[in-house]
Amino acid sequence: MAKDIKPLVSFEESFDKLDIRVGRVIQVDLETRTHKPTYRMTVDFGKFGKRVSYGRFTQHPIEEVKDRLVLGVLNFEPKEMGPGISEALIIGVQYPKAESGEATFVSPAVNAKIGSKLF
């Protein structure tokens, strides 16, 4: 099992450089002009602004995604996603028994403050 783990890195040279914050999804639309069906989500990160993010969370119905608390990486370079630009990476893990790349959210277990930093 240990052979599947990536090499050790220091906290300061990895995790400490990421700005991961709590946001609330305020708008969700199905985007079909990407390589695979994707949600275009507008996420409110409080004082850090609203950001557009594209993610393959499509196993979740839109009404389940809207108003959800999510964790987003705010300091990655924007990424082109079909016709749009993704301004934040919403963190997820593989959706059970779904096609490769389809995700479910990593979310706070309680109603955390929008903009709170992951540590």
pLDDT tens column, 37-79: 999 999 999 999 999 999 999 999 999 999 999 999 999 999 9
Asked whether the predicted pLDDT for residue 102 surpasses 60, the reply is: yes
Q: Report residue 112's pLDDT band, with 50, 70 and 90 as the boundaries.
A: very high
Number of domains in the chain: 1
CB 60 within 8 A of CB 70: no
Residue 83 lies in a domain: yes
Residue 2 pLDDT: 55
Q: Are strands 69-73 and 50-55 parallel, antiparallel or unpaired?
A: unpaired
Residue 119 lies in a domain: no
Residue 7 lies in a domain: no
86's CB contacts (< 8 A; 6+ apart) are: 52, 53, 54, 55, 78, 79, 80
Residue-averaged pLDDT of the chain: 94
**Cα–Cα distance, 57 to 101 (Å, whole number):** 9
CATH code, domain carrying 45: 2.40.50.140
Residue 8 lies in a domain: no
Residue 42 lies in a domain: yes
pTM of the model: 0.92
Domain that holds residue 75: 18-105
